[in-house]
Amino acid sequence: MNQFQATQTIDSARLLEGLNPPQAEAVTQTEGATLVLAGAGSGKTRVLVHRIAWLMETQGVSPYGILAVTFTNKAAGEMRGRIASLLDVDVRGLWVGTFHGIAHRLLRQHWQEANLPQDFQIIDSDDQKRIIKRLLKDQQIDATSLTPASLQGYINARKDEGLRPANIDPGSDPVAARLRELYDAYEAICRRGGLVDFAELLLRSNELWLQQPQVLMHYRERFRHLLVDEFQDTNTLQYAWLRNLAGDRATLFVVGDDDQAIYGWRGARVENILRFDKDFSPVTTVRLEQNYRSTNTILSAANALISHNAERLGKNLWSDQGDGDPIALYAAYNEVEEARYVVEAIERWMAAGNRRDQAAILYRSNAQSRAFEEALMQRRIPYRVYGGTRFFERAEIKDALAYLRLTANPADDASFERVVNLPTRGIGARTVENLRAHARARQLSLHEAALDQLTSGELSGRAANAVRSFLELLDTMRRQTADHLLPDRIERTIQLSGLIDHYAKEPHEKGQARIENLQELITAGSYFTPEEEVEGSLGELNAFLAHAALEAGEEQGDAWDDCVHLMTLHAAKGLEFDLVFLCGLEEGLFPHQRSVEEPGRLQEERRLAYVGMTRARQFLYLCYAESRRLHGDVIYGTPSRFVAEVPAEHIQEVRQIGR
C-alpha cells in the first residue's frame, strides 16, 4: 500500500465513523443512483452530508462537480458548515442551495441565453399578488368572480407543471380560456418590468436546459453528482429539471420520507419517489431503521399515529434512547391559558439549566403565534418567530427595498407603484391611474410614462410638481448612493426616502418597531456576502435585492440565536429540539377544516402531525384548547382526532390545578 492509499483509508474511516452499516452503505455507493428512503430522525440528512464529504475526500471529486439541493437556505448554510468542519477544506466551489436559489444562480449567469434582462428582479409572492390584483382591476374583473389569490394559485400551479400559456389547451371551456388569457397578460407585465417570480425561476431555468443545449451540456459535464434532501417534496417541474440536468451521466443521490410529504397542496409529488426507481434505474434503495433523535415513547407514538394513513411505503423505526418521559397532554381552557401553560413549562425547563434554543412551539397556522408571543414577552423570554411576517416581507422593509430597487432599475413598476405616494407627497390615485393608462398605451414603464407626461405638458399644476419632485428624489438617490458601499447605500436611501419620519407618526410602539426594522436592514446589508457568480453578473446592490426576495419566500429567519423557537409545522421540517410543544390540536384547526372532507388532504395533515411529533428529542407536549379566539371569532373545539390516534399508554394527562 502506498502512502496515498494509506491516508485515504484513514480519512475514509473517519468519515464513516459514527454511521451505522446501512448509513455507511448509502454514503459509499459507487454504482448507479441511490434512494435513501427512511423515517424521521434516521440520519438521512447526516448521510447526505457525509456522502458529499466522502466523495470529495476519497473519490477525488472536486467540490465544483457537486450540486446539493436542500429545502431551505438555512439548511444549505448548515450543510456547508458541516462539510467544511468534516473536511477542513474550502467548499466555496460547492453548489448547495434550494431549487430556487440554484435556479437563480443559473439565470444570473445565463441571463442572455434565458432571454432575461441582465438586471432582472425577483418578486416574492406578495409582489406577485399586487401585480395580479392590479391586472384584474385593469381588466375590470371583479373579485367575486375571480380572486387575486386564486389567479395567483392558477398561474403558479401551471408554472410548476412546466406550462406556459401557449401550452395550455382550454378546449371549449370559456373559464379556462379566460384564465389562460390572464396568465398571458401577467407574463407580459413581468416581461416589461424584467420581473421574475419564484415559480418562474425554475421554469425559466428548465427552459434554459431545453432550449440551450450547450448550456445544459456544460452543466452536465460539470455536475457529476446530484444530491437532494427532502426528496418527497419535489414537484413535477423540479423533478424534470433534475432529470434534464442529470442526463445519463450524473450520479443521483436522493433522500426522503414519504411519511413526511407535506407540500402536496403546493404541487409536490410524493409519487416522484416511485418514478425515481424507473427513471434512474438501476437504483439502490437503502432503508434506515434506527432513529437517533427521539425517545422510544415519542417514536412509538408517532409511528402509531402515522399508521392510520392508508397509502404508505411502510417502514419500521426503532430507537435505543430509552423510553424517556410519557408525552404530556394538556387541555387548556382557551388559547391564552394554553400559552401560559406552555410558557410556564419552558420556564421550568430553563430553571433546570436547559437552553432556550432547545425548546420549540409548533402550530398549524401562523395566526396562532400571537398568544405565545404575548405570554413570552410578559415573562421576558427571548423568542423568535419563524414564518409569519418574515423580515424581508415586512411592509417597511419592502418600502425601503422598493426605493433601492428603483435606484437600480427605474422601470420596476411594482416598486414604483408601491412608493410613488409613500410617504404621502400629493400624488393622488387619479394621477397614478393616468400614468398607468399612459404607460399601457405606449408600452412604457411608469417611470418613463411620468417623464413623458411631464415633458409633453400633459401633466400640470400641483400633480405635475408632485410627480416631478418624486422623479427628482429618485434621481438624487441614485446619484448620491451610486459609489457607496452597500450599507451606506441602504442607509442613505432610507434617509432620503422620508420613511423614518413617516413611520415615526404611527402609534408609538408600532412605529418604533418599524424604524428599528429599517435600521436592521442596514445591518443586514453590512453582513451580506453574495455568492461570487451572482455578484459578478449583478453588482452588490442587485445581488442584495435578489437575496432579499429569495429570503422572503422562505419560512425561516436568519440567526439561530439562543431563544425559544416558534414556527409552523411546515417550517419545522428537518429540524430537531429537546423540548417540543405541539399546540392547537383541535378538530378544524388541526386537521384543518378544509382537509377533513378529503381523504388525501387529511392524510397530508396527519403527516404534518407526524413531522411535528418527530421533531422532539426528549420531551413532547400535546396541547389543545377548549375554546379559542381565532380571526376574531370564538370557536369551541373538540380535541383533534390525532390526539386519539396516539395510544393512551404513551400519554399522561396533565391535571389542571383549580379547575
Q: Which residues bind Mg ion (CB under 5 A)?
A: 44-45, 574
Q: Minimum distance between the CB of residue 206 and ligand ATP, rounded to whole angstroms?
A: 26
Measured distance CA(272)–CA(529) in Å, rounded = 35
Q: Is 109 tagged catalytic?
A: no
In the set 35, 37, 41, 342, which binds ligand ATP (CB under 6 A)? 41
Q: Minimum distance between the CB of residue 36 and ligand ATP, rounded to whole angstroms?
A: 8
Q: Is 139 tagged catalytic?
A: no
Q: Point out which span in 16-24, 67-75, 393-401, 546-554 binds ligand ATP (CB under 6 A).
A: 16-24
> Looking at 23, 28, 34, 44, which residue is catalytic?
44
Residues 336-365 that bind ligand ATP (CB under 6 A): none
DSSP 515-559: HHHHHHHHHHHHH----HHHHHHH-HHHHHHHHHHHHHTSS--S-
> Looking at 229, 396, 551, 605, which residue is catalytic?
229
In the set 8, 20, 59, 434, which binds ligand ATP (CB under 6 A)? 20
C-alpha separations of 439 from 99, 140, 346, 449 in Å = 35, 18, 57, 5
> Looking at 46, 158, 489, 615, which residue is catalytic?
615
Q: Point out which span in 15-23, 51-59, 98-106, 479-487 binds ligand ATP (CB under 6 A).
A: 15-23
570 binds ligand ATP (CB under 6 A): no
269 binds ligand ATP (CB under 6 A): no
DSSP 102-150: HHHHHHHHTTTTTT--TT-EE--HHHHHHHHHHHHHHTT--TTTS-HHH
257 binds ligand ATP (CB under 6 A): yes
* DSSP 8-class letter at 59: S
In the set 12, 15, 16, 23, which binds ligand ATP (CB under 6 A)? 23
Grid coordinates representing 118 are: 441582465
Q: Point out which span in 38-46, 110-118, 408-416, 421-429 binds ligand ATP (CB under 6 A).
A: 38-46
Grid coordinates representing 515 are: 424604524
Q: Minimum distance between the CB of residue 70 and ligand ATP, rounded to whole angstroms?
A: 11
Q: Is 284 tagged catalytic?
A: no
- Burial class of residue 210 (count of CB atoms within 10 Å of its CB; 0-12, 13-18, 19+): exposed
In the set 15, 27, 35, 46, which binds ligand ATP (CB under 6 A)? 46
- CA 264, 267, 271, 277 torsion-angle sign: negative
Q: What are phi and psi of 411, to 5 degrees?
A: -80, 5
Q: Minimum distance between the CB of residue 513 and ligand ATP, rounded to whole angstroms?
A: 34
98 binds ligand ATP (CB under 6 A): no
Q: Is 44 tagged catalytic?
A: yes
Q: Is 260 tagged catalytic?
A: yes
Measured distance CA(34)–CA(255) in Å, rounded = 8
List the x/- string, 517-556, binding to ligand ATP by CB under 6 A.
Answer: ----------------------------------------
101 binds ligand ATP (CB under 6 A): no
How far is CA 177 from its chain centroid? 32
With CB under 5 to 8 Å by kind, the binding choice for 20 among Mg ion, ligand ATP, none is ligand ATP
C-alpha separations of 266 from 123, 234, 276 in Å = 18, 10, 20
595 binds ligand ATP (CB under 6 A): no
Looking at the Cβ atoms of 138 and 576, the one nearer to ligand ATP is: 576
**Whose grid coordinates read 400559456?**
165
Nearest to 55 by CA among 3, 12, 96, 23: 12
43 binds ligand ATP (CB under 6 A): yes
Strand ranges in 137-237 using DSSP code E only, listed in sequence order = 195-196, 225-228
List the x/- string, 272-311, binding to ligand ATP by CB under 6 A.
Answer: --------------------xx------------------
**Whose grid coordinates read 437504483?**
283
Q: What are phi and psi of 94, to 5 degrees?
A: -75, 130
In the set 45, 319, 321, 445, which binds ligand ATP (CB under 6 A)? 45
Angle at 194 between CA 188 and CA 196, to 5 degrees: 85
C-alpha separations of 471 from 106, 159, 441, 475 in Å = 34, 36, 21, 6
- Secondary structure of residue 394 in the 3-state scheme: coil
> Looking at 57, 124, 230, 338, which residue is catalytic?
230
In the set 19, 332, 474, 549, which binds ligand ATP (CB under 6 A)? 19
Q: Is 230 tagged catalytic?
A: yes
The type of residue at 248 is D
- Say what the alpha-carbon torsion angle 554, 560, 564, 568 is, to the nearest 10 degrees: 20
319 binds ligand ATP (CB under 6 A): no
In the set 44, 340, 447, 489, which binds ligand ATP (CB under 6 A)? 44
Looking at the Cβ atoms of 26 and 552, the one nearer to ligand ATP is: 26
- Residue 532, CB-side half-sphere exposure with 13 Å CA sphere: 5
With CB under 5 to 8 Å by kind, the binding choice for 293 among Mg ion, ligand ATP, none is ligand ATP
Looking at the Cβ atoms of 260 and 415, the one nearer to Mg ion is: 260
Q: Minimum distance between the CB of residue 291 and ligand ATP, rounded to whole angstroms?
A: 8
Contact set with ligand ATP (CB under 6 A)? 18-20, 23, 38, 40-46, 257, 260, 292-293, 574, 576, 614
Hey, which residues are catalytic here? 44-45, 229-230, 260, 615
